[in-house]
Amino acid sequence: MAVVTRGHGEPLAQSPTGLESLDVRKLGMWAFLGSECVFFGALIASYFVYRPLILAGDPKPHEVLGINFTALLAFILLISSLTMVLALNAIQHDRRRAGAYWLLATAVLGTTFLGGQAYEFTKLAQEGVTLSSGIFGQCFLVLTGFHGTHVFLGVIWLLACFARAMRGGFNSGNYIGAEIAGLYWHFVDIVWVAIFTLIYLIP
């Protein structure tokens, strides 16, 4: 009967098969992300349920949504997923400072996205799209607002990971914290790609 380690500096319970068990913290994150899929799926479904009313109303989505600008925001988030991968890879290879700076770069890109989203919300308000303006404002702003909240929480988490990485809290034997943060961040990015494709690109 062999003792199995999970690769994060902590041994697992003995396994008669020698197979590695899934870290309970990572399992918890996957369960959380599953519930988030249901949550965002419900919000997107609500948008499409009310879409006939939205298209019949005024203003119409394609008249006020800045697709080119939002495509840039989507690109920024996709790049942030790459920097997150580079951060985890550096940490796993004991390149502490490189990992920390890639985490910081990911947080900066996330903050840039939030700044762009704030600009978009301000522009929409000037166009008369608010939570009280009608069904389009309610559905769209609630959906994108909740996503922005998730990005904000992710940025705070990344900054906390950056501070820990600078103190040497992550290394090749202990990187589960950064890995779980990465799972959350990739999920946030994927959700925005779905929102951009379904809400912005479908006429």
**Average pLDDT in the 110-126 region?**
95
- Structural contact between residues 21 and 13, judged by C-beta atoms closer than 8 angstroms: yes
**Average pLDDT in the 128-137 region?**
90
pLDDT surpassing 50 at residue 13: no
Architecture of the domain whose range is 24-201: Up-down Bundle (1.20)
More confident residue, 61 or 122: 122
- Predicted pLDDT of residue 191: 96
- Predicted pLDDT of residue 1: 42
pLDDT surpassing 60 at residue 11: no
- Structural contact between residues 136 and 92, judged by C-beta atoms closer than 8 angstroms: no
Phi, psi angles (nearest 5°) of residue 5? -110, 150
- Predicted pLDDT of residue 21: 55
**Average pLDDT in the 92-109 region?**
96
- Structural contact between residues 59 and 127, judged by C-beta atoms closer than 8 angstroms: yes
- Predicted pLDDT of residue 10: 47
Comparing CA positions, the residue from 160, 180, 153 lying closest to residue 28 is 180
**Average pLDDT in the 85-104 region?**
96
- Structural contact between residues 85 and 182, judged by C-beta atoms closer than 8 angstroms: yes
- Predicted pLDDT of residue 189: 96
16-74 pLDDT tens trace: 444 345 689 899 999 999 999 999 999 999 999 999 998 888 777 888 888 899 999 99
**Average pLDDT in the 97-101 region?**
96
- Report residue 9's pLDDT band, with 50, 70 and 90 as the boundaries: very low
Question: Distance of CA 112 to CAs 78, 94, 123, 195, Å?
Answer: 12, 28, 17, 18
Average pLDDT value over all residues in the chain: 88
